[in-house]
Amino acid sequence: MSTVPQVEKGGYTHAVLMGDLIGSEAASSIKELHQQFNHAVDQTNQLAADRLVSPLTITLGDEFQGVCRSLSDGLWIMRRVRYALLAQDVFCRFVLGVVRLETEVPSNKAWNMMGPGLSAARDRLADKKDPNVYRFQLPEHELLQSLLGAVGYAATAIELDWSSRQQQIVLASAEDKPAAQLSRELGLATRTLYKIRHSARFDVYQSQWRAMMKAAEALDHDYGLPSR
């Protein structure tokens, strides 16, 4: 089944999420990287089925795109893909933006679509000189686009500073389990868990993600995209 968006002229219909692996050409094993990438995409599609209009689809060997109901859904999905890849020490850059799709939106693969916003998002993703992992394309909201980009850049800097152990603990904390339960599962004293998260700047990092999500929800309302 596919859907044809029905909106007034100038209205935005969906959010698009695009991603591109970083340094894939230098991977020691292309076959292993391919398997890790496909697994992360498949896993996220299962977790986010109700947030996606068209599933995350690998368009080339190291790129993917998907169509989301809203920016807040797209941001939630972005974080899950990022964590699934980081757990395998695979790095990826993203762009999240709004689009006005004027053709059918396939429900099985996110391709063969046309409409304003797609090329602008891809151009932003293609800038390999920009070290920011989290990028945004938000027409008519240049100030918020800039602010969200700055917050995303700060989150990127924190991620790049993690040790392997800090990364493991932060990724394990993504499900918001109680600290006592998470400590048991990881075989750590609760005090040690808090100590590692503090050194990883976990509270600051979480506040950055909360700020980005609140901004995405406000933008959804302004763009007329569905909210939860």
Domain range annotation of the chain:
2-141
For residue 15, give the nearest of 128, 110, 143, 108 by alpha carbon.
110
Q: Summarize pLDDT for 165-182 with one digit per residue, the tens.
A: 999 999 999 878 899 999
The DSSP-derived string for the chain is -EE-----TT---EEEEEEEESSGGG-S-HHHHHHHHHHHHHHHHHHTGGGEEEEEEEEETTEEEEEESSHHHHHHHHHHHHHHHHTTT--EEEEEEEE---S-EESS-S-S---TTHHHHHHHHT-TT---SEEEE-TT-HHHHHHHHHHHHHHHHHHHT--HHHHHHHHHGGG---HHHHHHHHT--HHHHHHHHHHTTHHHHHHHHHHHHHHHHHHHHHHT----
One-letter amino acid at 71 equals L
Q: Output the pLDDT for position 4.
A: 36
Residue 134 Cα distances to 4, 78, 209, angstroms: 29, 9, 11
Domain spanning 2-141, CATH class: alpha beta
Residue 8 has pLDDT above 80, yes or no: no
Q: Summarize pLDDT for 17-70 with one digit per residue, the tens.
A: 999 998 776 667 888 988 999 999 999 999 999 999 999 999 887 899 999 999
Question: For the chain, how big is the Rg over CA atoms in Å?
Answer: 18
Name the band, by pLDDT with cuts 50, 70 and 90, for residue 5.
very low
Task: Choose between 103 and 162: higher pLDDT.
Answer: 162
124: its two tokens:
């932003």
CA–CA dist 149, 133 (Å, integer): 9
Opening angle at CA 65, ends 102 and 125, nearest 5: 100
Strands 14-21 and 2-3: unpaired
191: its two tokens:
């005090």
Name the band, by pLDDT with cuts 50, 70 and 90, for residue 113.
low
CA–CA dist 137, 71 (Å, integer): 11
Q: Output the pLDDT for position 27.
A: 65
Q: Output the pLDDT for position 1.
A: 41
Q: Say how many CA atoms lie within 13 Å of 72 toward its Cβ.
A: 18
